[in-house]
Amino acid sequence: MTFYLLKRLAVLLAGIAVAAVVVFAFMSLLPGDPAEIALGVNATPEAVAALREQFGTDRPPVVQFLDWSGGLLQGDFGTSYVTSSPIGPQIGDRLGVTAVLVLGGMAVALVLAVPLGTFAAVHHRDPLGAVISAASQVGIAVPAFLAGILLVYVFAVQAQALPSGGYVPFAEDPGEWLRGLLLPWASLGLVQGAVLTRYVRSAVLDVMREDYLRTARAKGRGSTGALWRHGLRNASVPVVTVLGLQLATLLIGAVVVERVFVIPGLGDLLLNGVAGRDLLLVQGVVMVLVAAVLLINFVVDVAYHLLDPRLLR
């Protein structure tokens, strides 16, 4: 296990390093000089050159990359060419908001999908099981931002029970914080829950056909007890893999949902950065999101190995 963990950790770090190169190279392709953009068209060449030197963009790309990635290691994302404010703290603030959004959405998805998927599998011959399957198929077809708009219409416009958008920090007012997050969580969670329900259902169906479930019943368990004691952990092995993929999907979905609900998360920061041509900011946020996806994959792989002793060597 230790060997596996170290090996997998090395793959993770290598992945992040390569991703940093890719992101940096990509953003450096930009036609246009940050110094020129900052000073506008009427700037004198001398002023541009001076600002270039101040930004450090007059140095060779390799040096710039080493400078940038070296800073990343210490949590320093550089200083914005546009707003002249340090990027790291901004990302730090926004990351927390997005993390709460994503984890809450995942929790909603799990709370929905595990019971519904299991129920649909156990009752796969009954009409109700078929209804759940059909409903999940429809749920998959609805993108999170559309679900968000629908939820706003029902709960904010019609029922006027919840805010249609905006974000109140937890420290300011926990109650409002929660009220503001309910619809965003639901929009992310309902859609991912539909996807997850299908996976849970097929994983539980697979497990229900396993010989060891018959063995459990031969020991004296009822079919429910056998499924509970022997089935669900086995079914969780494939589901965990999907969960990781979904967490990554949710992270990206959150970018869009933040826009729907006007939540100041990483997605909002990213889109503002693009709109304001704040390249270093975009570069930093993209890097954080990519690293998060890689980290999630890493955690899933490790969890997978912890769940299934057959993979331990």
Partner 1 sequence: MSTLKVEGLSVRAGALELVREVSFAIAPGERVGLIGESGSGKSLTALSLMGLLPEDVTASGTARLGGRDLVGVPESRVKDLRGREVSMVFQEPMTALNPLMRVGAQVAEVMTLHGTPRHDARERAVALLDRVRLPEPAQVARAYPHQLSGGQRQRVMLAIALANGPGLLICDEPTTALDVTVQKQMLELIDEVAPALLFITHDLAVVASVCERVLVMYGGRVVESGPIREVFTRPRHRYTEGLLAASRLTPRGTRLPTIQGSVPPAGRFPGGCVFRNRCPHATPTCEAAPALTGEGHAFACWHPAG
Partner 2 sequence: MRGRANAGLVAGGALVGLVVLTAVASFFWTPHDPTLVDAARKLREPGGGYLLGADKFGRDTFSQLMVGARTTLYVGVVAVGIAAALGVPLGVIAGMTPRGWLSELIMRVNDLVFAFPALLLAVMLGAVYGAGTLTAMIAIGVATVPAFARVARAATLQVMVTDYVLAARAAGRRRPAIAVRHVLPNIGSMLIVQASVSFAIAILAEAALSFLGFGTRPPTPSWGRMLQESQELLFSTPRLALWPGLAIALAVLGFNLLGDGLRDHLDPKLRRVEER
Residues that bind partner 2 (CB under 8 A): 15, 18-19, 22-23, 26-27, 29-31, 133, 137-138, 140-143, 145-146, 149-150, 152-153, 157, 164, 198, 201-202, 205-206, 248-249, 252, 255-256, 259-260, 270-271, 273-274, 277, 279, 282, 286, 289-290, 293-294, 297
Q: How far is the CB of 26 from partner 2 (least distance, A)?
A: 5
Q: How far is the CB of 62 from partner 1 (least distance, A)?
A: 49
Query: Residue 7 touches which of partner 2, partner 1, none (CB < 5 to 8 A by kind)?
Result: none
Interface with partner 1, residue 222, by CB under 8 A:
yes
Residue 123, classed as helix, strand or coil, is: coil
The Cα–Cα gap between 309 and 239 comes to 16
Q: How far is the CB of 31 from partner 2 (least distance, A)?
A: 8
The Cα–Cα gap between 80 and 240 comes to 39
Name the DSSP letter for residue 309. Answer: G
The Cα–Cα gap between 13 and 190 comes to 33
Interface with partner 1, residue 86, by CB under 8 A:
no
Query: Residue 211 touches which of partner 1, partner 2, none (CB < 5 to 8 A by kind)?
Result: partner 1
Interface with partner 1, residue 172, by CB under 8 A:
no
Which string of b and e fits 46-60 if b means at least 16 CB within 10 Å?
eebeebbeebebeee
Looking at the Cβ atoms of 248 and 300, the one nearer to partner 1 is 300
Interface with partner 1, residue 257, by CB under 8 A:
no
Cβ partners under 8 Å of residue 205, min gap 6: 121, 124
Token code pair at residue 29: 């392709």
Which residues inside 107-136 make contact with partner 1, applying CB under 8 A? Answer: 125
Q: How far is the CB of 133 from partner 1 (least distance, A)?
A: 18
The Cα–Cα gap between 167 and 99 comes to 14
Looking at the Cβ atoms of 29 and 62, the one nearer to partner 2 is 29
Task: Give the range of 136-144, 150-158, 183-191, 215-223 binding partner 1 by CB under 8 A.
Answer: 215-223
**Contact in structure between 184 and 281 (CB atoms under 8 Å):** no
Nearest to 135 by CA among 111, 110, 107, 113: 113
Query: Residue 205 touches which of partner 2, partner 1, none (CB < 5 to 8 A by kind)?
Result: partner 2
Query: Residue 150 touches which of partner 1, partner 2, none (CB < 5 to 8 A by kind)?
Result: partner 2
Binding residue for partner 1, selected from 29, 41, 171, 218, defined by CB under 8 A: 218
Task: Say which residue the tokens 């998360």 belong to.
Answer: 265
Q: How far is the CB of 118 from partner 1 (least distance, A)?
A: 17
Spell out the alpha helix ranges (H) of the chain: 2-28, 34-39, 45-55, 61-73, 87-122, 127-140, 144-151, 174-208, 211-218, 223-226, 232-261, 266-275, 279-307
How far apart, in Å, are the Cα atoms of 11 and each of 4, 8, 62?
11, 5, 23
Residue 214, classed as helix, strand or coil, is: helix
Binding residue for partner 1, selected from 210, 264, 271, 302, defined by CB under 8 A: 210
Residues of the shown chain interacting with partner 1 in the complex, contacts defined by CB under 8 A: 125, 210-212, 214-223, 229-230, 233-234, 237, 307-310
